[in-house]
Amino acid sequence: MNNSPIGIFDSGVGGLTVARSILDQLPNESISYIGDTAHTPYGTKPLATVRSYALEIMDELVDEGVKMLVIACNTASAAVLRDARERYTVNRGIPVVEVILPAARRAVSATRTGKIGVIGTKATVDSRAYDDVLSVATDVDVISVACPDFVPLVEAGITTGPRVLEAAHRYLEPVKAAGVDTLILGCTHYPLLAGAISYVMGEDVTLVSSSDESAKSTFRTLLEHGLERAEDAPGPVHRFRSTGDSATFAGLARRFLGPEVSQVESMS
């Protein structure tokens, strides 16, 4: 048993889709969330830059005493996938969950044809992190497409309508043409576009949400390490912080996560 919070971080509000799934699956847990809005978006930046931002925030969460870390961002996961476990799990005993491995595993078990699509930010797609993880499975063909217009649309509150459908058709037609039967939503914002994406891809294509899969992985990791919060502990406390303007973050955060975001602290 461990009553410390789960540390979750993202470049901004997107990781709140992961936090939402974690709170749904683990309602007794406290979370400590940091959105790095001072440096958002990560998806257009070089991976080395994203890596240094991500490590700085995770160091902070670990120093504050979180019991595990969730890298709730595909771009950050791509940037630190290899070294976060060594830095935090091996050296400090803190389990780390990220979003890429859980989604890739789910896609491999879901596909019937072996043709898997991945959509994400430019940095995630260019990193080939999903391709590398998926290539461990035999008989899997991967097509990856960056969808840079999706994040700004979601952050502007536009998740349906002609602009979304136009962008979805433009990005997804090559993925459809490749005949995928499974599509990984490899960006934290894309679950909010699942309606439009599914509409364009068709009902026969299974959408795998990296947010939902990483929340399941968080659940599993917590139990495997015996880190659940005691059932008789006082009610969970959630803390939300942003490295940039907290008012903008708070407005978007309520839309991504819901009423649990009562107050946002600024770290700037």
Indicate which single residue of 43, 102, 117, 191 sits in contact with ligand DGL (rule: CB under 6 A).
Answer: 43
Nearer to ligand DGL, 11 or 182 (CB): 11
Count of CB atoms within 10 A of residue 179's CB?
A: 12
E strands within the chain? 6-10, 31-35, 68-71, 96-98, 115-120, 141-146, 182-186, 206-209, 239-242, 264-266
Indicate which single residue of 2, 11, 21, 246 sits in contact with ligand DGL (rule: CB under 6 A).
Answer: 11
> Which is the catalytic residue, given 23, 72, 73, 97?
73
DSSP string, 169-204: HHHHHHHHHTT-SEEEEESTTGGGGHHHHHHHH-TT
**Minimum distance from residue 222 beta carbon to ligand DGL (Å):** 22
Indicate which single residue of 2, 21, 75, 206 sits in contact with ligand DGL (rule: CB under 6 A).
Answer: 75
**Minimum distance from residue 4 beta carbon to ligand DGL (Å):** 24
Indicate which single residue of 30, 121, 214, 246 sits in contact with ligand DGL (rule: CB under 6 A).
Answer: 121
> Which is the catalytic residue, given 119, 151, 185, 187?
187
How many residues touch ligand DGL (CB under 6 A)? 18
Site for ligand DGL in 172-231 (CB under 6 A): 187-189
Side-chain half-sphere exposure of 19, counting CA atoms within 13 A:
30
Nearer to ligand DGL, 53 or 88 (CB): 53
Q: Is 147 a catalytic site residue?
A: no
The 10 Å CB-count burial string (b at 16+, else e) for 37-51 is bebbbbbebebeebb
Nearer to ligand DGL, 216 or 225 (CB): 216
CA dihedral 186, 188, 191, 194 (to 10 degrees): -50
Nearer to ligand DGL, 35 or 95 (CB): 35
Please list the active-site residues: 73, 187
Positions in the binding site for ligand DGL (CB under 6 A): 10-12, 14, 40-43, 73-75, 120-121, 124, 151, 187-189
